[in-house]
Structure 1
Amino acid sequence: MIETLLQAIMEQLDQPKKDLEHNLRALLMETVTKMDLVSKDELDRQKIALDNANERLIELQNQIKSLEALIQQK
C-alpha cells in the first residue's frame, strides 16, 4: 500500500516536469524559428556557391586585363 502511494506521488510529481519540458521546447523552437536561422548544410552550399562565383569573377577580371593589353598593343 505504501509503495502504491509512493508510486502515485512520483507520477504526480513527474507530470509537471514533463509539461514544463514540453512548454520550454515549444518556446525554444518558436524563438529559433523567429531568428530565421539556416542549417549548416545550407551555409556550406552557399559558401561553395560564393567560392565558385569568386573564382569566375577572377577569371573574368583576368580576361578583361588580357583584352585591355591587346587593345593597348594595337
Structure 2
Amino acid sequence: MSTSQPDASRPSEARAGDDRATPDDLLHTRTGTDVSPEDLVLAAGRDVTPQNLEWARRKLADEGPAALDKLLP
C-alpha cells in the first residue's frame, strides 16, 4: 500500500489558471434586454416587496440599466 498522495506529486491543471483574472466583458450577465425593477431587487439580494420595488424604480430612473451592472460582477 502506497503512502504517497497522487495529487501532490503532479501539477494540477485546475490550479494553473486560478491566478489569472477573468476579463471584465465575460463577467457581466446582462443580455441587452431591459432591466426591470424586479431584476434589480433580486440582484441586490432583497425580497420583492413594494418598498424594494420602489427603491429599484428610483435607482433605475437615476442610473439606468447600469444600476444592475454595478450589482453584478
TM-score, with structure 2 as normaliser: 0.28
Which structure has the highest helix share of the two? 1
TM-score, with structure 1 as normaliser: 0.28
Larger Rg: 1
